[in-house]
Structure 1
Amino acid sequence: MIQVVAAAVIWGLVLCILPGVRNRKDHTILIAAVAIATALSLNVDPIYIAGDALLGGRNLLDLCANVLMVVGIYSLSQAILRAAEFNDASVRRDGLGMTILSFVVLGLAAAFFSIEAPVSSTRFMLDYGSQPAAALYSSIQFAYIGIVVGLTGYVCFRFRRRMATIHFRLAFTLIGIGCTLALVVVFAVLGMDIAHVLGDLGTMQRLAVAYDVSFVGAMLFLCAGLALPPVARRMSRRIDVRTREGLLNSLTETWEKATANRKDIRLATAARGVERGDASTRKLHRMLVEIQDALLMDPSAAELLDEADRQTVSRTEVFLASHHSAQGSRLSPSVWGRTRGINDR
């Protein structure tokens, strides 16, 4: 049941990341989420039994799932660490990290093939974990995961206050909490591995409770933190579109009043309807400039404007100023919300 819940949560994260994927050059988080979600899904009993049977029924699917898990954790960590960097080297190769990951995968394979596990089992470590090779197999995986999430959590807590917006700061905080809970998972698993080899079933059961609670908590916090930036961006864009639409409708009336006697400076086309994206913002800007020019050249035109018109002009000025600021500091999806960064790619 734990695996089903965790897999569902991670697949939910994938669905949150997918919209707008074509506009992003860095798909590391998506790749990591898919890898982790697939690894967890492969451990769901019916899927594991059917999949392992296709591979010969000797638990090779467990090795495949664990390799996918460490690859996903590595990719996820790289994406988060790049998000916390303050330079333009976010796409550089992590040679050392890839080398360590390769050795971890080789170690997992070597330990796995030393385990006597002739029958496919959905409780692999419970059935075969008393073997030292099985304990080594599990320990390699979780020791690596512990080091990676420990470093990632440290970076999240250290740099969260440097994020440009509150939702990025909250995202880093949630990810940091998720990494902390993931460390609890790691220590619980390592403890269970040792207890199993020693035959201490009581300790195993107590650690299993800590494992279940912390595992679900880690998945929830990590996914919430990773899903927050893309969801917040989409919500912000929708609010931005609605705001532009309202301002265009309101400012058009003000524009027509202010420029009634100076039609020579008007827009080449009527300001009807709402265009998407930057086109509507440019139209707002031009209308505002024409209103200001009309008032400057003919002060009597101000008498044609009422308080509502002046408030509309003021709101438009504030919106355009904030929009210009956001455009100037907009960041690549690969680096989320850091205070200093590079423009959208």
Structure 2
Amino acid sequence: MIQTIAAAVIWILVLCLLPGVRTRKDHSILIAAVAIATALALNIDPIYLAGDAALGGRNLLDLCANILMVVGIYFLSQAILRAAEFNDASFRRDRLGLVILWFVTGSLVIAFFSIQAPVSSTRFMVDYGGQPAAALYSAIQFVYIGMVVSVTGYVCFRFRRRMASFHFRLAFTLIGIGCLLALIVVFAVLGMDITHLLGDLSTMGKLAVVYDASFVGAMLFLCAGLALPPVARRISRRIELRTREGLLSSLTEIWEKATATRKDTRLATPAEGIKGGDVSTLKLHRMLVEIQDALLMDPSAADLLDEADRQTVTRTESFLASHHGGQEHRISPASWGRRHGESDR
């Protein structure tokens, strides 16, 4: 049940990441999510038994799942470190990290084939964990995971305040908590490996409870943190689009009234024929500038505007200012129009 819940949560994360796959340059998070989700899905009992039977019934599927898990953890860490701007071009060519990953993968293969596990088991470590080779096999995987999530969690907590937007700060906090819970998972697994070797099944059972709770918690927090930025961006874009369309409709009426006596200097194309966000924003800029120019040249035109019209103009100015807030050179809507719009009239 634990594996099923965790796999479902990760696959939901994959679905959240898929809509932006064409525009996203870095696909590390998606690769990580697919690898981890597949690894967890392979450990669901019916899938494991059917898949391992196809591979000869000697638990090779467990090895495949664990390799996918460490690969997924590696890509997950790289994506988060890049998002935190912790790593530069040298990290993008993370040769040391890749060497360690290959070493861990090779060690897992060697340790696995040293285990006497002739029959497929959905409880691999419970049935075969009493062997030193099995304990080593588990320890290699989880020590690596522990090291990676420790660094990742540290970076998330240290650099989360650098994030400009609230949803990124919250995402890094959630991921950091997920990494902390994942570290508890690592210690629980290592503890179970040791107590299994010592024959202390009572302590091993208690650690299993800790493992189950922390494992589900880690998956939930990590997935929530990773899904938050793309979901928040999509929601923000939809809100921005609706806001822009609403302002455009309202401002068009104001523009018609304010520039009624200046038709020779108005927009060359009608405001109704707008398609695409960028064109809409340019139209808002241009109409706002023409309204301001009309009021400047003919103060009596202000009598045509009521309080609701003035509030719409103010909202448009605020919207355009925030729309250009991330640009290197910030200019007011009015000055933008006069610099680039005057010559177009």
TM-score normalised per structure 1: 0.93
Alignment-derived partner of residue 265 in structure 1: 265
Alignment-derived partner of residue 112 in structure 1: 112
- CA distance in 2: counterparts of 1:203 and 1:259, whole angstroms: 81
- CA distance in 1: counterparts of 2:214 and 2:68, whole angstroms: 21
Amino acid at match of 2:50: A
Aligned CA distance change for structure 1 residues 318 and 164 (closer, same or farther; 3 Å): same
Percent same amino acid at aligned positions?
81
What is the CA-CA distance between 1:28 and the residue it aligns to?
A: 0.6
Within a 5 Å distance, the mapping from 1:24-39 to structure 2 comes to: 24-39=24-39
- CA distance in 1: counterparts of 2:33 and 2:181, whole angstroms: 18
- CA distance in 2: counterparts of 1:280 and 1:87, whole angstroms: 37
What is the CA-CA distance between 1:328 and the residue it aligns to?
A: 5.2
5+ unaligned residues in a row in structure 2: which ranges? 330-345
What is the CA-CA distance between 1:92 and the residue it aligns to?
A: 2.2
What is the CA-CA distance between 1:85 and the residue it aligns to?
A: 1.3
Q: Deviations over 1:158-206 (max 9, x none)?
A: 0001100110000000000000000000000000000111111001000
The answer to which structure, 1 or 2, has the higher relative contact order (CA under 8 A, 6+ apart) is 1
Report the 3-state secondary structure (helix = DSSP H, G, I; strand = E; otherwise coil) of the residue aligned with 2:92: coil
Q: Does 1:218 align with 2:224?
A: no
Amino acid at match of 1:94: D
Q: 4+ runs of 1 displaced by more than 2 Å?
A: 86-92, 273-276, 326-329
What is the CA-CA distance between 1:304 and the residue it aligns to?
A: 1.4
What is the CA-CA distance between 1:91 and the residue it aligns to?
A: 7.1
What is the CA-CA distance between 1:208 and the residue it aligns to?
A: 0.1
Aligned CA distance change for structure 1 residues 33 and 328 (closer, same or farther; 3 Å): farther
5+ unaligned residues in a row in structure 1: which ranges? 330-345
- CA distance in 1: counterparts of 2:127 and 2:326, whole angstroms: 56
Are the counterparts in 2 of residues 156 and 173 from structure 1 also a CA contact under 8 Å? yes
Q: Does 1:287 align with 2:314?
A: no
What is the CA-CA distance between 1:137 and the residue it aligns to?
A: 0.1
Are the counterparts in 1 of residues 51 and 61 from structure 2 also a CA contact under 8 Å? yes
Report the 3-state secondary structure (helix = DSSP H, G, I; strand = E; otherwise coil) of the residue aligned with 2:65: helix
- CA distance in 2: counterparts of 1:148 and 1:86, whole angstroms: 14
Are the counterparts in 2 of residues 84 and 156 from structure 1 also a CA contact under 8 Å? yes
Alignment-derived partner of residue 181 in structure 1: 181
What is the CA-CA distance between 1:32 and the residue it aligns to?
A: 0.3
Q: Deviations over 1:18-44 (max 9, x none)?
A: 112101111110000000000000000
Aligned CA distance change for structure 1 residues 146 and 86 (closer, same or farther; 3 Å): closer
What is the CA-CA distance between 1:86 and the residue it aligns to?
A: 6.0
Amino acid at match of 1:205: G
Within a 5 Å distance, the mapping from 1:195-274 to structure 2 comes to: 195-272=195-272, 274=274
What is the CA-CA distance between 1:89 and the residue it aligns to?
A: 3.0
- CA distance in 2: counterparts of 1:90 and 1:322, whole angstroms: 34
Paired positions, count = 329
- CA distance in 2: counterparts of 1:85 and 1:167, whole angstroms: 17
- CA distance in 1: counterparts of 2:86 and 2:165, whole angstroms: 15
